[in-house]
């Protein structure tokens, strides 16, 4: 069990990659806090963990990651109750696909608030605790879109590229304190966000087939596969890995 006697805080833990990350960490022995603005989704994640034969435990918290004070309070409460070893800043959203100049300022600010400032708020809340104890890990969910760009998703790609480089920046600051920071950069993954985007097409099945044809593995990723990469980066198996942008894209960038 790689995460026995560790506490993991996961934002966006109510669905998709966040839910599967929470489940993965609990399966490997961790105490998990699943945080999400969707309180019911986070509670369902915890229920799934409780009903599974796993070594770890879980609890949920309703959290808007754009609210810096609320994030600080949630992380502080976790530290007081359980300690903190791993901070997974995973909460993220996208926007309607379209030309950059047609993205509304409202959508731009919403995406920046969750994807960029949400990660900033999570790190700002967790870092003092991790530095003080002289150990710990931060894993931020960026995206392949933040590495190679993604036409028609300008605000999303902007924020995810920022997350990747921000992660490198803090890794340089934190190494001397025994704290590692890495980013996972998934390609398209079969999450509610991606499923919703496909449903917006006139023929969702054809849109999925077209998307999957662009991957070397001829399919998009599963949330469990991204969760595995996140768990790796947070584990001692990656003890000499920090400041890294781990692309997990089924070979999309190889074609």
pLDDT digits (tens, 9 = 90+) for 176-187: 999 999 999 999
d(CA 139, CA 133): 18
Q: Closest Cα to residue 116, out of 85, 144, 155?
A: 155
Q: Where are the beta strands (DSSP E) in the chain?
A: 7-11, 31-36, 57-62, 86-89, 136-141, 179-186, 245-248
Query: Could you give all domains of the chain from N- to C-terminal order, each with its CATH number?
Result: 7-186+222-239 (3.40.50.720), 192-220 (no CATH)
Helix (H, G, I), strand (E, B) or coil at 130: helix
pLDDT value, residue 197: 84
pTM: 0.96
pLDDT value, residue 196: 83
Catalytic positions, written as ranges? 156
- Helix H or strand E segment including 83: none
Yes or no: say if 22 and 10 are a contact pair by the CB < 8 Å rule: yes
pLDDT value, residue 138: 99
Helix (H, G, I), strand (E, B) or coil at 124: helix
Yes or no: say if 147 and 97 are a contact pair by the CB < 8 Å rule: no
Low-confidence ranges of the chain (pLDDT < 70): none
pLDDT value, residue 202: 83
> What is the DSSP secondary-structure string of 183-252?
EEEE-SBSSHHHHHHHHTSSSHHHHHHHHHTTSTTSSPBPHHHHHHHHHHHHSGGGTT--S-EEEE-TTG
Percentage with pLDDT > 70 across the chain = 100
DSSP 55: S
Cα–Cα distance list, 12 to 20, 61, 118, 161 (Å) = 10, 10, 10, 19
């Amino acid at each position: 069990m790689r995460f026995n006697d560790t506490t993991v805080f996961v934002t966006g833990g109510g669905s998709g990659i966040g839910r599967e990350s929470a489940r993965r960490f609990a399966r490997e022995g961790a105490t998990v806090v699943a945080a999400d603005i969707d309180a019911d989704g986070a509670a369902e994640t915890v229920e799934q963990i409780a009903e599974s034969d796993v070594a770890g435990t879980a609890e949920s918290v309703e959290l808007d990651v754009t609210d810096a004070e609320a994030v600080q309070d949630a992380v502080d409460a976790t530290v007081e109750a359980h300690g903190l070893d791993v901070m997974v800043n995973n909460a993220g959203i996208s926007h309607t696909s379209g030309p950059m100049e047609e993205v509304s300022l409202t959508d731009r600010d919403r995406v920046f608030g969750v994807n960029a400032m949400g990660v900033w708020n999570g790190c700002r809340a967790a870092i003092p605790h991790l530095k003080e104890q002289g150990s710990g890990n931060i894993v931020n969910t960026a995206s392949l879109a933040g590495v190679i760009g993604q036409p028609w998703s300008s605000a999303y790609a902007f924020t995810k590229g920022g997350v990747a480089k921000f992660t490198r920046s803090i890794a340089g600051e934190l190494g001397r304190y025994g704290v590692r920071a890495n980013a996972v950069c998934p390609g398209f993954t079969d999450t509610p966000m991606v499923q919703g985007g496909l449903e917006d097409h006139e023929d969702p099945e054809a849109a999925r087939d077209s998307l999957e044809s662009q991957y070397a593995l001829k399919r998009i990723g599963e949330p469990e596969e991204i969760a595995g990469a996140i768990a790796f980066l947070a584990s001692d198996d990656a003890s000499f890995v920090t400041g890294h942008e781990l692309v997990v894209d089924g070979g999309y960038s190889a074609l």
